[in-house]
Amino acid sequence: MTNPFKNFYHSYYIKDHITNPNIIVGDYSYYAGFYHGKHFEDNVWYLDATEEVSDKLIIGKFCSIATGVIFMMGGNQGHRHEWLSTYPFYWDDQTDWGDFVQNGYSAKGNTLIGDDVWIGASALIMPGVCVGNGAIIAARAVVTKSVEPYTIVGGNPARLIKKRFDDPTIALLQQLCWWDWPVEKIKQHMALLCSNNAEALRALRLV
- 196 to each of 77, 90, 147, 150, how far by Cα in Å? 43, 54, 22, 13
30 contact partners, CB below 8 Å, separation of at least 6: 5, 11, 12, 13, 14, 63, 64, 65
Q: Please give the Cα distance from 181 to 190 (Å, whole number).
A: 12
| Catalytically annotated residue among 10, 39, 79, 189 | 79
Q: Please give the Cα distance from 204 to 93 (Å, whole number).
A: 61
Q: Examine the residue annotation and report whether 39 is marked as an active-site residue of this protein.
A: no
Active site amino acids: 79
